């Protein structure tokens, strides 16, 4: 109570960030990773995304998927290095690491070898190339850990609602399954029963499968009760225009993105991408007229969402500019084998991606999300 007897005014908790901003931020970091093979810059991108995830990841089952993406990225590195070791590398090298027994192959398998000399240059090239894909996977994992899939579904256009429901169900199935397995294994350990081995897996797997089926039936009943799949009648001309705009826009987006990611398509990439995005958005707006649904407390795209998205876009733009002006710094050579150097201004630009860790609310102070 205040001194005058009146209750103190409760401060309104800050609203959580729009989930689309997290995805745009993470995809921008992933796009920046595709412009370089410098392991120092890629490691810095991973560190930036990991810091933001650690500081802003909510306490929810779907937010635990970041570790799975990190393990998948490590598996990509190991598999790529293993393939280079066993199958060889087209990169010539003079620094021999190990010489494996070579298996003779028939004449029709020219250009393929099993075993032989493994060079440091070939391993370095494979590591740099695999780190680019691994960084992209970790950035996608950051988006999965930060953006609430249910709230993201509410923000989708009406034309993508049904597709979004299927994606959200698929994304939330694995985290719930992992949570069920951990809960059942902990319960078996408390009861003094074994939770490892084939027998333990079978005794844990059956209850997990039963719970997944029960959730599926409950989800189907809830979707049917809410009128899922109901559409409004629209003229045939509107349907054909919607299909043409959406399909043409998506093709334009693919062609423009390909142009941006390749050196040869840098001239036409941006115009084609802009035209494709405009056509796709027009098709989605027309397609949304078929979906009859309302949004309860829709998420607002506020200034913080613009800042988070802008920070990721700034990182991507800086790496694009650096790749055009100084390609040698962003793509260190392996023949001759030299240690990669850290370019200062691209590294400083990557640190801009840390902005969401300071302008977004912490998970403990974020407002409660509607059920």
Helix (H) or strand (E) holding 118: strand 114-119
pLDDT in the model for residue 234: 66
pTM attached to this predicted model: 0.70
Mean pLDDT of 184-212: 73
Decide: helix, strand or coil at residue 111.
Answer: coil
In the chain, domain spans: 19-231+303-359, 240-290
116/96 Cα distance (integer angstroms): 10
pLDDT in the model for residue 109: 66
Contact present, 7 and 1 (Cβ < 8 Å): yes
**Residue 323 tokens, joined:** 């790749």
- Comparing 212 with 96, the larger pLDDT belongs to 96
59/363 Cα distance (integer angstroms): 7
pLDDT tens digits for range 9-67: 445 556 778 888 999 999 999 989 988 999 999 999 999 999 999 998 888 777 788 88
């Amino acid at each position: 109570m205040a001194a005058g007897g009146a209750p103190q005014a409760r401060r309104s908790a800050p609203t959580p960030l729009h989930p689309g901003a997290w995805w745009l931020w993470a995809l921008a970091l992933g796009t920046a990773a595709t412009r370089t093979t410098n392991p120092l810059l890629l490691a810095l991108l991973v560190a930036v995304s990991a810091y933001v995830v650690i500081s802003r990841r909510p306490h929810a089952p779907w937010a635990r998927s970041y570790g799975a993406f990190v393990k998948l990225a490590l598996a990509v590195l190991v598999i790529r290095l293993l393939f280079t070791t066993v199958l060889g590398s087209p990169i010539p090298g003079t620094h021999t690491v190990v010489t494996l027994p070579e298996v003779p192959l028939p004449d029709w398998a020219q250009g393929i070898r099993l075993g032989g000399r493994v060079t440091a240059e070939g391993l370095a090239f494979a590591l740099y190339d695999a780190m680019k894909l691994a960084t992209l996977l970790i950035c996608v994992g950051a988006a999965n850990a930060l953006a609430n899939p249910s709230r993201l579904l509410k923000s989708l256009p009406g034309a993508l609602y049904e597709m979004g429901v299927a994606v959200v169900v698929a994304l939330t199935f694995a985290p719930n399954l992992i949570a069920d397995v951990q809960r059942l294994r902990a319960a078996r350990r408390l009861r003094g029963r074994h939770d490892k081995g084939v027998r333990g897996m079978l005794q844990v797997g059956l209850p997990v499968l039963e719970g997944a089926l029960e959730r599926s039936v409950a989800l189907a009943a809830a979707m049917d009760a809410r009128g899922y799949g109901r559409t409004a009648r629209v003229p045939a001309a509107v349907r054909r225009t919607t299909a043409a705009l959406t399909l043409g826009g998506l093709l334009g987006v693919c062609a423009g993105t390909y142009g941006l990611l390749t050196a040869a398509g840098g001239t036409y990439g941006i115009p084609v991408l802009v035209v494709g995005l405009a056509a796709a958005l027009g098709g989605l707006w027309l397609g949304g007229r078929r979906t009859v649904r309302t949004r309860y407390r829709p998420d607002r795209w506020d200034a913080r969402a613009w800042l988070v998205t802008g920070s990721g876009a700034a990182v991507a733009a800086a790496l694009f500019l650096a790749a055009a002006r100084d390609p040698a710094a962003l793509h260190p050579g392996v023949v001759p084998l030299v240690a990669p150097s850290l370019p200062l201004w691209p590294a400083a630009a990557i640190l801009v991606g840390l902005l969401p860790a300071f302008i977004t609310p912490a998970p403990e102070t974020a407002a409660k999300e509607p059920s």
